[in-house]
Homo-oligomer: A and B are copies of this chain.
């Protein structure tokens, strides 16, 4: 890999390309053009070529990309192709939706446990994953060497949950709570802000009208 900073938008698109390549490989396709890959995401062939060029030379002019090899490369680049140990905090509606999201498991993100403070949920399973009380979170992270924590609790509880994860040296946090977490430099955080998505959409709709 070249020693340059890869834009996050490129990383996001690589993730989409990769799942598209998996899909077409299942359908028996061996070779694919940048134009066909671009269609999967509604982008342009030039953008696909530029995204892939960050990682060196792929593909052959006039022949296209070998589907299997290209996907193997992207999977490696994204840090996939192995099992990530993940826990989920919050067994509400969003937590339930996330725990049953097949896309996580398919890509190597194994949700090992769910944590919630609701005594009616503790001891049950959420889509097959055991639910433990939140006071066991810290020990579980250490004992199972958990790498990624997903936060799906209401905003007012999110920082407390993050603090436990931080104290136990988790590598990354995916935060769905609509709050900016205070997290030290050495821990990766990614915020999924559902309102942002709706607001970018409304901006784009308005821009078309003007």
Q: Which of A28-36, A116-124, A138-146, A185-193 contacts B (4 or more CB under 8 A)?
A: A185-193
In the complex, per-residue mask of A85-96: 1 if CB is within 8 Å of any chain B CB, else 0: 010000011101
How many copies of this chain are found per oligomer?
2
A11, B200: Cβ atoms closer than 8 Å: yes
The count of chain A contact residues (Cβ–Cβ below 8 Å) is 62
A15 CA to B200 CA in the complex, in Å? Answer: 8
B77, A195: Cβ atoms closer than 8 Å: no
In the complex, per-residue mask of A139-165: 1 if CB is within 8 Å of any chain B CB, else 0: 000000001101000000000000000
Task: Tell me the A residues contacting B by CB distance below 8 Å.
Answer: 1, 6, 8-9, 11-12, 15-16, 18-20, 40-42, 77-80, 84, 86, 92-94, 96-98, 100-101, 103-104, 107, 109, 147-148, 150, 171-172, 174, 178, 180, 186, 188-190, 192-208, 210
